[in-house]
Amino acid sequence: MPAVLPPDLVLAARVLRKSPGFTFVAATSLALAIGANTTIFSVAKQLLFERLDVPSAANLRLLATTDANFSYPIYDQLRAQNQVLDDLLAFHSTAVNATVGDNAERVLAHEVSGNYFAVLGVQPQLGRAIRPVDDTAGSEAVVVISDEFWAREFARSPSVLGQSIKLNDVPVTIVGVSPRGFTGAASTLASQAPGVIVALAKATLVTPSSNGRNWLADPTAPAVNILARTKPGVSDRAAQAALDLQFSTIVRAMLPIHAGDVVPRLTLRDGSRGLFAQQQTFATPIAVLMIFLGLVLLLACANIATLMLARGARRQREMSVRLALGAGRARILRQMLIESLLLAAIGGASGLALAYVGRGAIAQFMPHFDWQVFGFTALISIATGLLFGLAPALAAMRADVADGVKSRAGIGKSVVGFQIALATLLIIGAGLFIRSLAGLTAVNPGFRRDHLLLAQIVLPQNRYPAGANVAFHQRMEQAIANIPGVASVSGAEVPYLSSDQLQTIVLPQGEALDAGRDQTEPYNAVGIHFFETLGIPLVAGRAFGVDDTVTSPKVAVINQRLAAVRFPNQNPIGKRVSLGVYAGYGDVLTAGPIEIVGVCADTLYGDLH
């Protein structure tokens, strides 16, 4: 027996069908506003609240310290002494050159402890996972590839198992394919998922240190992140206290702790979202977008309420007749609200469809449309229907025509006033956004942005060790420079405005390292034609030249800001500085002296701010 729709719903559908123009305009307005809110909510959920796609992600904990990461030997000791957590895994994120046949590409890699998949509770969709036996010195070099890598390079062929590929020119054998949607232990974003996963025991082969040191065996080299699973019956506070004590003991035993040094502390954090690095970047922009899109939705509600009030004036006779025939005021109110909710449901369904279709515009984040997104869309659709339907519904309950018209006029004035206030607020906000965008567009970065091409080339350390890599880049630059139409070419370790930045300690001659001051500065390593290629003017001294080689005295060019801050009221040309990097856990490695031979104009580095 077919289901019978409620009479009020049937009547509401008939009323909307008789006014196709109004229904189309109102539903389209709602679809755009609800679709925009749904899209941003799905992105916010993915970036800020989504958990790793692993079993019982809520039980994962991230171990953190005042230094950036842990060294592998310290992780090994923590795991051996652990009694308060179920187990600890370690991983190191990096990028490698992956070669399949004659095709090479740059992919993200996770170098992991042998228990990585076991602790996460993840089983490959094909083949097997990395095992503890793979994380030993004498084992075969094996790799688990991602579902995306499998589809792109092997067309999802089951015969992929046992095939050999090269990572940084090191042959590895494919033993498994990770599940579709698995983003690794670091992030919930598909764009940050590892394409290949190898055991940490092979890390010194695949990603050897540029200085030749075995970073995997060096207790002073912070290189790995640590995730763990909670143990039933052990609180986070108890685990935190025990681990911090163990960590302090291990650090004192394995690292050179000098008088006055502060021993790093260990903290236990929620690990269900991996490293959760995207919160700092996206939390504020998403909050601003959600607020403004919420105001847009309110404005759409006010617009539709105004239209419904105008329609209500024409329907006043209908309502008066229905009241005269015995319909109660509550029935009139219910009927009008059902019409509003039906209109909101049409707009909500259309908005959800628009958000789903338009998700390709933000494909980098690939928002998931799950039951929470559907629930959010349903909730704001219902709230929207009640918002724009309540005022017309109350006005329609008036029994007297004259009073109804006066009431509707009063409500209409209030709604119009609300519309004007919201529209003014949104126009001011949009003006500020446009002004900020125009300001960023007009920013002079300090270098020429026109006629620039950028390419990234990363050489495997095992084939191009120190010295050989420099010779290769010199040959490459010369080959590119010989191409017709190329005016100038130069290498650079970090391209400007790429949201990336290198930092180094800068100590002018005679200045001592002071733990209480920030003595770091941004730096870059560049080719001899760098300033010419980017059109950065030299304001004093000289640029780099062909005589600046590996064997010649070390020289540097600084910018005007650094010259003013670190060499006030002095001529920096000819001055000497030492550069240093933190080697981990408070130790500093310095190189110098380096002579300043030039001062260039200031340029923006990481971004347009």
Parse the chain into domains and list their residue ranges.
7-50+278-440, 57-270, 468-600
* CA 588 centroid distance within chain: 30
Q: Across-strand partners of 581?
A: 589
Full-model pTM: 0.74
For 507, the token pair is: 């100590």
Average pLDDT over all residues of the chain: 83
214 contacts 202 by C-beta, under 8 angstroms: no
For 224, the token pair is: 């790995």
C-alpha dihedral sign at 211, 110, 496, 502 = negative
Burial class, 431, CB count within 10 angstroms (exposed 0-12 / middle 13-18 / buried 19+): exposed
- Phi/psi region, residue 288 (left: phi>0; alpha: psi -120 to 50; beta: rest), is alpha
11 contacts 286 by C-beta, under 8 angstroms: no
**Alpha carbon of 526 to those of 427, 486, 520, 557, 563: distances in Å?**
45, 18, 19, 10, 19
Q: Write out pLDDT tens, residues 254-313.
A: 877 666 666 778 889 999 988 876 666 777 888 888 888 888 888 888 778 777 777 766
Q: Phi first, then psi: what are they for 186, rounded to 5°?
A: -90, -35
User: How would residue 390 be classed by pLDDT, with cut points 50, 70 and 90?
Assistant: confident
Mean pLDDT score, 439-452: 85
Q: Write out pLDDT tens, residues 538-560.
A: 999 999 998 988 888 999 999 99
Q: Which of 514, 311, 490 is nearest to 396 (CA)?
A: 311
Range among 128-132, 260-264, 352-356, 549-553 with highest mean pLDDT value = 128-132
> In terms of pLDDT, which residue wins out, 18 or 125?
125
Q: Write out pLDDT tens, residues 4-51.
A: 667 778 877 887 888 888 888 888 888 888 888 888 888 888 777 788
Close Cβ partners of 123 (under 8 Å, ≥ 6 residues apart): 117, 129, 179
* CA 211 centroid distance within chain: 31
Q: Write out pLDDT tens, residues 373-386.
A: 888 888 888 888 88
Classified as helix, coil or strand, 233 is: coil
Mean pLDDT score, 223-240: 92
Residue 406, pLDDT > 80, answer no
C-alpha dihedral sign at 495, 497, 499, 501 = positive
Mean pLDDT score, 327-342: 77
The residue written with tokens 């005679």 in the block is: 510
**DSSP string over 418-473:** HHHHHHHHHHHHHHHHHHHHHHHHH---SS--TT---------TTTS-TTHHHHHH
Picking from 12-16, 86-90, 341-345, which range would have the lowest pLDDT averaged per residue? 12-16
165 contacts 174 by C-beta, under 8 angstroms: yes
454 contacts 495 by C-beta, under 8 angstroms: yes
Q: Phi first, then psi: what are they for 218, rounded to 5°?
A: -90, 115
> In terms of pLDDT, which residue wins out, 438 or 525?
525
Residue 582, pLDDT > 60, answer no
Residue 109, pLDDT > 90, answer yes
User: How would residue 332 be classed by pLDDT, with cut points 50, 70 and 90?
Assistant: confident
CA distance 35 to 40: 9
Per-residue three-class SS string for 71-105: CHHHHHHHHHHCCCEEEEEEEEEEEEEEEECCEEE
The residue written with tokens 């084992």 in the block is: 139
Q: How confident is the model at residue 150, as a pLDDT?
A: 96
Close Cβ partners of 280 (under 8 Å, ≥ 6 residues apart): none
Picking from 126-130, 244-248, 360-364, which range would have the lowest pLDDT averaged per residue? 360-364
Q: How confident is the model at residue 396, as a pLDDT?
A: 65
Q: How confident is the model at residue 401, as a pLDDT?
A: 45
C-alpha dihedral sign at 532, 536, 541, 543 = negative
